[in-house]
Amino acid sequence: MEPMSANILVVEDEPAIQELIAVNLRHAGHRVQSAGDAESAMMIIRDALPDLLLLDWMLPGLSGLDFARRLRQDARTRAIPIIMLTARSEERDKVAGLEIGADDYITKPFSPRELNSRIKAVLRRRTPHATEDAVEIAGLRLDPAAHRVFGGGHSITLGPTEFRLLHFLMTHPNRVYTRAQLLDQVWGDHAFLEDRTVDVHVRRLRAALEPTAHDGLIETVRGSGYRLGGE
Amino acid sequence: MEPMSANILVVEDEPAIQELIAVNLRHAGHRVQSAGDAESAMMIIRDALPDLLLLDWMLPGLSGLDFARRLRQDARTRAIPIIMLTARSEERDKVAGLEIGADDYITKPFSPRELNSRIKAVLRRRTPHATEDAVEIAGLRLDPAAHRVFGGGHSITLGPTEFRLLHFLMTHPNRVYTRAQLLDQVWGDHAFLEDRTVDVHVRRLRAALEPTAHDGLIETVRGSGYRLGGE
DNA sequence: GGCGATTGTCACAAAACCGTAACAGAATCG
DNA sequence: CGATTCTGTTACGGTTTTGTGACAATCGCC
């Protein structure tokens, strides 16, 4: 599983370190772009916003600190999470690094594991849960925060995929979705799976809903796909 | 209505006052760290976010006001509750202190009682889980003040980490937390540990709860994390 | 009713996920 | 300090979950 895969821009002037980091991040499943100075970085960012910025404090020309400050001034780039890379001798500067709003920082030398751990933590923090509001339709209640489903008061156990499937359907009722659309929405658009997989999971979901007679909620639309009916 | 236990960072340049406060706070059951200036304070915060910051208005170098402002600009430190200590009694300064986001202020000289009272109030407001109110769920009772756990009247012994873990779960029941979230909440946000570490501590916690049959309270949510269920 | 397309169901192998024990290092305490 | 507890990590085995192909059942249409 790699839901934590991200586009990461590494700004680091030392080629050896830059490569070391890039290799590590790619190995962890991320897409990596590299820049040796602030100006190249800016150009990359102009084309596409990265999900995360790894920024060396010491850069030729515009310093990492100034670069970060500039990013924070622009509405388009303000929200990019930034992790600062600093050498241990630059202790005093950390205060300044945090001042401009870096999300975290790592002191060199650092282990690959620490790097990955901090990246995960920052990405996680920046991605608030989609919607944690409970949904209820026809006596069937799904609570994302508690990760629970109740059918007329009785607890219903679902596997992770069935849970996501039901969650999606309940938040998008009265509308037909093709199997391909469901695969995109529930499994993620970069998963290549058979259409029939949806059938099977619908079957499993219905089976789980049967004890409380909620299985009829999920309707088959022949030739099109599935729909969760509200009326 | 009991006192609280929290990690408190005291930033005060006068050693005598610093020590006085520290002794008081420890006596009230808090963990205390001290710093003489903003830079040392920042380094301490770098390692772990305190639950509360006691910040002297007058500091050598960076003033308390500026320091607080910096903390508020950083995503990571923004949420730290701050209580300002000031010798000045002018209304103007208090207003300035509150404007930059201090949660409260105390004018010197102040009594230990007043200090404790304000700390309690701020912690209540900002970090509900840091209170020392006892929690009880399904016959399992955790008393932070006494640092004790009872299962149906019988005393249960827990290690420090298991205690914090249980405390967090009991104050946030019926909600799933990923391993990463638990690491953030129970271990601290700047700790980089393996996800599996959580598993092991959950296991130890369950083992400790087993004699009173409370181990079932902690439920595994496959693919998501853990939940303490009250149903 | 006959026929092709579509869907339901089942079983199975692979993968993901979790519990557990063991271990070494760190922290704590006399 | 030495002993003891506490912690984090790893490895491994068991279990659940998942995707898929096969085949029966069903539907729409002529």
Assign B94 a pLDDT band (cuts: 50, 70, 90): very low
- List residues with CB under 7 Å of strand D: A 157, 159-162, 187, 191-194, 196-197, 200-201, 204, 222; B 159-162, 187, 191-194, 196-197, 199-201, 204, 222-223
pLDDT tens digit sequence for B135-156:
889 989 998 878 889 888 888 8
C-alpha to C-alpha distance for B207 and B132, rounded to whole angstroms: 25
**Cα of B112 vs its chain's centroid, Å:** 19
> Which protein residue lies nearest to nucleotide C15, measured between its Cα and the C1' atom?
A1
What's at B137, amino acid-wise? I
Q: Are B94 and B86 in contact (CB under 8 A)?
A: yes
Residue A117: what pLDDT? Answer: 78
CA angle A22, A26, A31 (to 5 degrees): 95
Task: Check residue A147 and give left, alpha or beta (phi > 0: left; psi -120 to 50: alpha).
Answer: left
Alpha-carbon span A126 to A108, nearest angstrom: 24
Contact A103 B75 (CB under 8 A): yes
Handedness of CA A172, A157, B185, B179 (dihedral sign): negative
Token pair, residue A154, equals: 């009785």
Residue B130, CA atoms < 13 Å, CB-side half-sphere? 23
Q: Report pLDDT digits (tens) over A85-119.
A: 877 545 444 444 444 557 777 777 777 777 887 88
Tell me the pLDDT band of B51, cut-offs 50, 70 and 90. Answer: confident
A–B CB contacts, 8 A cutoff, strictly below: 60
Residue A127 has a pLDDT of: 59
**pLDDT tens track for A11-62:** 999 898 889 888 888 877 788 999 999 999 999 998 888 989 998 888 888 8
Residue A37 token pair: 């100075």
Tokens for A82?
Answer: 């930034």
Q: Output Rg (C-alpha) for chain B, integer angstroms.
A: 19
Residues of A in contact with B76 (CB under 8 A): 98, 103-104
Instruction: Name the closest nucleotide to B196, judged by C1' and CA.
Output: D9
pLDDT at B78 over 60: yes
- State whether residue A87 is helix, strand or coil: strand
Q: Which of B49, B67, B192, B194 to mutate to test the interface with A (most CBs of A within 10 A)?
A: B192
Strand partners, B225: B221
Residue A194 pLDDT class (50, 70, 90 cuts): confident
pTM over 0.85: no
Residues A223-228, mean pLDDT to the nearest whole number:
89
- The DSSP output letter for B138 is T
Cα four-point dihedral sign A12, A17, A23, A27: negative
Residue among B131, B122, B218 at smallest CA distance from B169: B218
A146 contacts in B (CB within 8 Å)? 174-176, 227
Q: Is the CB of B31 under 7 A from strand C?
A: no
Q: What pLDDT is recorded for position A143?
A: 92
Does residue A166 register a pLDDT over 90?
yes
CA-to-C1' span, A106 to C11 (A)? 51
Mean pLDDT (whole number) for B206-213: 89
Is the pLDDT at B213 greater than 70? The verdict is: yes
- Looking only at the bridges linking them, the beta strands covering A154-156 and A218-221 are unpaired
